[in-house]
Amino acid sequence: MSPIDRSIRMKTTEDVSVDSFVNFLGNNALEWNDAEIEILKAAMDSILPLLQEIRMSFPETVYFVKTTGEE
């Protein structure tokens, strides 16, 4: 990601270092609660047959990251 991309995402005109940007991202990550996890599991279970039918492949592990949306 370019310096201008980092600045735009952080809504600043200042140069943003990679370390500052990574810190910014970490500060915008949120924990999933149990209810949200169950909703995601149910959603994935419901679309898995369709994905298999259209031969859509995914990596062994897929990570879902919940954020504030500010990043």
With CA atoms as reference, report the closest residue to 1 among 15, 18, 14: 18
| SS3 label, residue 70 | coil
pLDDT in tens, 23-71: 999 999 999 999 999 999 999 999 989 988 998 778 889 999 999 999 8
pLDDT in tens, 6-31: 999 999 999 999 999 999 999 999 99
